Each structure stands twice: as C-alpha cells, then as structure tokens.
C-alpha cells in the first residue's frame, strides 16, 4: 500500500489532466481503507478535472516563475540561496541514478520537484532492498521541506483540492517518520 500512497500523493501535485485525475480516482479506490480515511473521502469529491483546478495549479506552481506562489522544488526550501537545481537537487538526481532512474527530459520536472521525489519514494517503497535510500530521502529531503511547502500552500489560500492535498501529504510524511525501517 505504501507505493500507492506515494503515487497518489505525487498525483495530487502533478499538473491536472483528465487522464491523471482518472488515474487518481483509480488509486484512491485502492486506498479508501487506509489511515486518514476522512481526508481521502474529502479528496474523492475533488478528483474531477475542470478548468478551475488547472487554473489553480498554474496560479500556485507556475505563474511568475521563478517567484511562483508555492515553489514545488525541494532545493528552493533546502538551499540557503533558494537556488533551483542546487546541491540538494543534485543529491536526489544521484540517488535516482543509483537506482537506474532518470527524469524524462520532456516531463518538465526536475529531480527535486515534489512529483519526482514522491514518485521516486513510490518506486523505493515497492522494492524491499531500498530501505536505506528510503530513509535518506525521507530524512534528508521530504521531512525537511514538505512542512514549509505545505505552510506556503495553505498561506496561498488554495482551492479545497490543494488544501486537502496539503493535509494528505503531511499525514503521509508524519506516518513515515514514525515507521521503522
């Protein structure tokens, strides 16, 4: 179930498309028995593609780049100069490469984008021999920047979908911190 939780979380922050929202509904159906049932049920009613969700995604994560409302890149939150593609991004890229993973050039994502990191964690969670990398990704990256990211997201007064996405990612990361590797 952990890989599906991370895939679902990554999908919440990926650019909305009808196909992605459909995939999210499929993942959600597998997760409704999971912890945080209330948050998941609230998200269920939000998983319909519409222009408003696309506009909200652009407002929060794209417009006025590089000074967007909510930076979805770990390096922004972890680097002293808030530089994208800094040392923390390169560290993630090296971790991914050590597992044979590269970010597709046409994806428009960097290795430390929230979607990339969560999808990488989903991959790691599906392989039993990756506990050390999972712990490193969690402790040195996700735990350190996700709280700042979700605080900025809430401060931007997002639509309910993104408020619930922030709730969900915090619940997931908190449960992972309590998990024994």
Tokens of 66: 């590089």
User: pLDDT tens digits for 48-104?
Assistant: 999 999 999 999 998 866 567 799 999 999 988 777 777 888 999 999 999 999 888
Which contacts (CB < 8 Å, 24+ apart) does range 58-65 have? Answer: 59/156, 60/153, 60/156, 60/158, 60/162, 61/13
Asked if 145 contacts 153 with a C-beta cutoff of 8 angstroms, the reply is no
State the residue range of the domain holding 46: 2-178
Q: Is the pLDDT of residue 13 over 80?
A: yes
Number of domains in the chain: 1
Quickly state the pLDDT bin for 181 (edges 50, 70, 90): low
Read off the CATH number of the domain in which 152 is found: 1.10.3480.10
The confidence score (pLDDT) of residue 66 equals: 59
Q: What is the DSSP letter of 86?
A: -
List pLDDT tens digits, range 108-164.
Answer: 788 999 999 999 999 999 998 999 999 999 999 999 999 999 999 999 999 999 999
């Amino acid at each position: 179930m952990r890989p599906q939780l991370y895939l679902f979380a990554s999908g919440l922050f990926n650019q909305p498309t009808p196909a992605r929202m459909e995939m999210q509904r499929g993942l959600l159906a597998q997760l409704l028995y999971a912890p945080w049932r209330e948050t998941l049920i609230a998200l269920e009613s939000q998983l319909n593609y519409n222009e408003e969700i696309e506009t909200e995604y652009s407002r929060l994560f794209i417009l006025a780049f590089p000074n967007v409302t909510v930076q979805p890149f770990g390096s922004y939150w972890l680097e002293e100069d808030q530089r994208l593609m800094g040392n923390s991004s390169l560290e993630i890229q090296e971790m991914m490469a050590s597992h044979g993973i590269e970010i597709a050039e046409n994806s428009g994502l960097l290795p430390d984008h929230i979607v990339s990191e969560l999808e990488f964690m989903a991959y790691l969670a599906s392989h039993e021999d990756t506990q050390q990398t999972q712990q490193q990704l969690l402790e040195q990256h996700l735990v350190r920047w996700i709280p700042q990211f979700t605080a900025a997201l809430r401060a931007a007064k997002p639509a309910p979908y993104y408020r619930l996405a922030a709730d969900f990612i915090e619940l997931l990361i908190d449960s992972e911190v309590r998990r024994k590797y």
